[in-house]
Structure 1
Amino acid sequence: MKNTLLSINDIIYRVCIGIAGLSVLIMTLIIPWGIFARYVLGSGSSWPEPTAILLMVVFTFFGAAASYRAGAHMAVAMAVDRMPAQVRRFAALAVQVLMAVVALFMIFKGFKLCATTWNQFVGELPFLRVGISYLPIPLGGIVTLIFILEKLFLGDQSHRPVMRFDVIEESEGAA
């Protein structure tokens, strides 16, 4: 059961990295087009900037979830490292509980924000609902909460190598 959950979370982690990476890649292609259109063609396109901002939101929330699981999130441990072991364990648990509170806030308030703005459209992208543009907030919260629960119940996975898909298939075939 533990290995199944870890392999599912490995897939979620890789998807988060893929989404974040693809967002950055598309941004790096869109921004030069906006600059080229404005300064070389003499007429700026209206869509590159809002599209890049939306992609930055996607990158931020999915990248943050992946960063959390990888143990690459920002942490100031100077004070905690000087505490006794028992207090450090309590502080680590308190951090996870607070992270879960933040993730739950992102989920519930993010879905409320999506619902509230669903009938509005992005001015520069009239085919895109504002509610959809805010969807990375609650989705990123869900993924972050999954990784928080994983850390609480299955331990820190940041030093474990992520399971490859071909290893999953081989281990399932052997069972």
Structure 2
Amino acid sequence: MKNTILRFNDALYGLCIGVAGLSMLAMALIIPWGIFARYVLGSGSSWPEPTAILLMVVFTFFGAAASYRAGAHMAVSMAVDLMQPGLRRGAAILVQLLMALVCIFMAIKGLKLCLNTWNQFIGEMPSLRVGISYLPIPIGGVITLVFVLEKLFLGDQSHRRVVRFDLVEESEGAA
């Protein structure tokens, strides 16, 4: 069961990295087009800026979920490092519970935000609903919650080496 959950979370982690990476790539292509259209063609396009902003939101929430699982998020551990080992474990559990609370908040309030703005449309892109632009918030919250629960119940997976495409999984100690 544990290996199935870890394989699923590995795939979810890979998906988060892929979505964040594609968002960044698309922004890197869209922003220069907006500059080129405005300064070379003399006619600014209305869609590059709002599209880049939407892609930044996608990058932020999916990238944050992936970064959390990879252990690459910001953490201030000076006070925790000075604690006794028992207190350190308790603090680690408290941090995971607080993270889970933040993720639940993001999922619930983000979903309410999507639903409340669903019937509004983005001015520069009239066919796109505002609610869709907020979808990365609850989705990112749920994905991060999955990773928080994984860390809470299965331990930190940030140091485990995984070869993608279900070929081989190696633990850090094996080789």
Task: Report TM bin, short chain.
Answer: over 0.9
Matches within 5 A, 1:47-58: 47-58=47-58
More helix by share: 1
Deviation at 1:78, TM superposition (A): 1.0
Structure 1 vs Structure 2 CA RMSD:
0.8
Alignment deviations for residues 1-21 of structure 1 (CA, whole Å, 9 cap, x no partner): 100100000000000000000
**Structure 1: which 4+ aligned runs deviate by more than 4 Å?**
none
Aligned to 2:118: 118
Q: Secondary structure at the match of 1:91?
A: helix
Aligned to 1:165: 165
Aligned to 2:26: 26
Separation in 1, partners of 2:163, 2:90 = 30
2:9 counterpart of 1:3: no
Deviation at 1:79, TM superposition (A): 1.2
Matches within 5 A, 1:58-73: 58-73=58-73
Alignment deviations for residues 79-109 of structure 1 (CA, whole Å, 9 cap, x no partner): 1111111111111011000100000000000
Separation in 1, partners of 2:99, 2:129 = 29
Structure 1 contact 10–163 (Cα < 8 Å) conserved: no
Q: Secondary structure at the match of 2:58?
A: helix
Aligned to 2:172: none
Q: How many residues align?
A: 168
Per the normalisation by structure 1, the TM-score is 0.94
Separation in 2, partners of 1:9, 1:71 = 14
- The amino acid of 1:29's aligned partner reads L
- The amino acid of 1:103's aligned partner reads C
Q: Secondary structure at the match of 1:126?
A: strand
Identical residues among aligned pairs (%)? 76
Separation in 1, partners of 2:73, 2:161 = 17
Per the normalisation by structure 2, the TM-score is 0.94
Aligned to 1:42: 42
Deviation at 1:163, TM superposition (A): 4.1
Deviation at 1:164, TM superposition (A): 2.1
Aligned to 1:171: none
